[in-house]
Structure 1
Amino acid sequence: MNINFARTRETMVEQQVRPWDVLDIRVLDTIGALPREAFVADALRNLAYTDTALPLGHGEVMMKPVLEGRCLQALLPQAHESVLEIGTGSGYLAACLGRLAREVISVELHADLAEAAQARLTTQGIGNVTVRCADAMTWNPGRSFDVICVTGAVGQIPTRFMEWLNPNGRMFIVHGQSPLLEATLVHRTVNGSRIETLFETDLPYLVGAAPTPTFTL
């Protein structure tokens, strides 16, 4: 079956992303221009624009388009800003961030996913995104960023992530107890931080970031 991906992408924007209150024109233009099908396995290309999370291997998923849109709109990276993405996955969200920001460093735990994502980014001509294979729970970037985008859930917001934010920086992160997790925007302020709750969702946890299981008798 031959799919008109350009038309399908336009339908996704108009019928999925925009109705979920993603209205920023830069975000919509970015999602509308990037070929999402180029960032998924060949066997899943026909599902690239469906309202579902797609498996990537290692227990990771490519987020639903609506969640990606809300994430981008919450962060709204500007053309002069630096971005750290934790959890590269397919590389699609990193590509979107790269279209919006000055530079993106994206960290991926699994070497095969990191390599594939970097190859896809190169094929799409996105040269301001660098993928690094590392464990974000132990890795140290040696610098700070204006924007941090965390694509996997955490039980509690790691202090180390907060330390990587520039003053007045912001971080999108999903935390709590699955399946009712809170997507939040964390603002770094002069006096510490401020957390803005956005919506409820569910995502796989980052490796090493799941909450400690509790047992009741």
Structure 2
Amino acid sequence: MTSSTPLSLDRARFNMIEQQVRPWEVLDPAVLELLDRVRRDQFVSRAQKALAYVDMELPLGHGADQVMLAPRVQARMVQDLALKATDKVLEIGTGSGYTTALLASLAQRVVSLEIDDAIASAARKNLQQAGITNAEVRVADAAANGFAACAAEGPWDAILVAGSVAEVPAGLLALLTKGGRLIAIVGHEPVMRATVVTRVDDAGFSTQQPWDTIAPRLRNFAEPSRFSF
């Protein structure tokens, strides 16, 4: 029996949940159930199916920044957004569409922005085949023109930034509803931290950085100087 047979993929998915995801403190029953139900192998290329549940990033395009994040990172980010069934969610960086599918399964609606046309097209196909009907993938540079593409349907109850940024842009925080949450991976190698920002009121935000990881940069987000004088 080869590693690409359904039984082997079922075992690989079980091992992913129990050996990768749970040890990363992903313990929300709703998220764990989703990881079992939404088949990650349906969101990768045929050549990558045997790697769908491995603890690694998978390349999606020609650039080093075009990857599908590791399963444990995707799962923890989704869990830490604490989505409700009434939430309207913005995702920046669609990738394969797998995180999009997880978000859409927990929220009312997801709008996902992807800068690469070919990757966006593949993600739409993946989502359609997975039966996800409440997520829309749009081709857009999220950071362009003061986050104009992000603001089009805002404000948002939750925003997931599916990659790393040097800092959380104020322009994105301004698009959160009261009580809205944003999660992004923030910092510079070798130290980056998952950062969860919650809008407390019109002018106030609370920030938590519950775990560390490394992720490729999102394209075209500002890189402020790391040095001060």
Instruction: Quote how far apart the aligned CAs of 1:211 are.
Output: 2.5
Percent of residue pairs bearing the same amino acid type: 39
Instruction: Quote how far apart the aligned CAs of 1:103 are.
Output: 0.4
Instruction: Quote how far apart the aligned CAs of 1:213 are.
Output: 6.3
State the SS of the aligned residue for 1:161: helix
Distance 2:212 2:66 in 1: 19
Please name the residue that 1:74 is paired with.
80
State the SS of the aligned residue for 1:74: helix
CA shift digits 1:48-79 (9 cap, x unpaired): 00011111113211111111111111012111
Instruction: Quote how far apart the aligned CAs of 1:177 are.
Output: 1.2
Distance 1:146 1:214 in 2: 31
Distance 2:226 2:175 in 1: 30
- Residue 193 (structure 1) aligned to one of 181, 198, 205: 205
State the SS of the aligned residue for 1:135: coil
Distance 1:166 1:214 in 2: 30
CA shift digits 1:152-192 (9 cap, x unpaired): 11111111111111111001111111221111110111142
Distance 2:47 2:225 in 1: 35
Do residues 55 (structure 1) and 62 (structure 2) align?
Answer: no
Please name the residue that 2:215 is paired with.
203
TM-score, length of structure 2 as denominator length: 0.90
Question: What aligned pairs does 1:94-109 form with structure 2 within 5 A after superposition?
Answer: 94-109=100-115
- Which amino acid is the alignment partner of residue 49 of structure 1? Y
Residues 11, 180 of structure 1: CA spacing in aligned structure 2 closer, same or farther, 3 A cutoff? same
Return 5+ residue gaps in structure 1 as ranges: none
CA contact (8 A) 1:154 1:176 kept: yes
Question: What aligned pairs does 1:1-217 form with structure 2 within 5 A after superposition?
Answer: 1=2, 2-3=4-5, 4-57=8-61, 58=63, 59-138=65-144, 139-140=148-149, 141-142=151-152, 143-190=154-201, 191-209=203-221, 211-212=223-224
CA contact (8 A) 1:153 1:210 kept: no
Distance 1:22 1:210 in 2: 31
CA contact (8 A) 1:168 1:187 kept: yes
TM-score, length of structure 1 as denominator length: 0.94
- Which amino acid is the alignment partner of residue 219 of structure 2? V
State the SS of the aligned residue for 1:84: strand
How many equivalent pairs are there? 215
Moved over 3 A (4+): 212-215
Structure 1 residues 134-143 or 205-214, which shifts more? 205-214
State the SS of the aligned residue for 1:152: strand
CA contact (8 A) 1:39 1:91 kept: yes
Structure 1 residues 51-60 or 90-99, which shifts more? 51-60
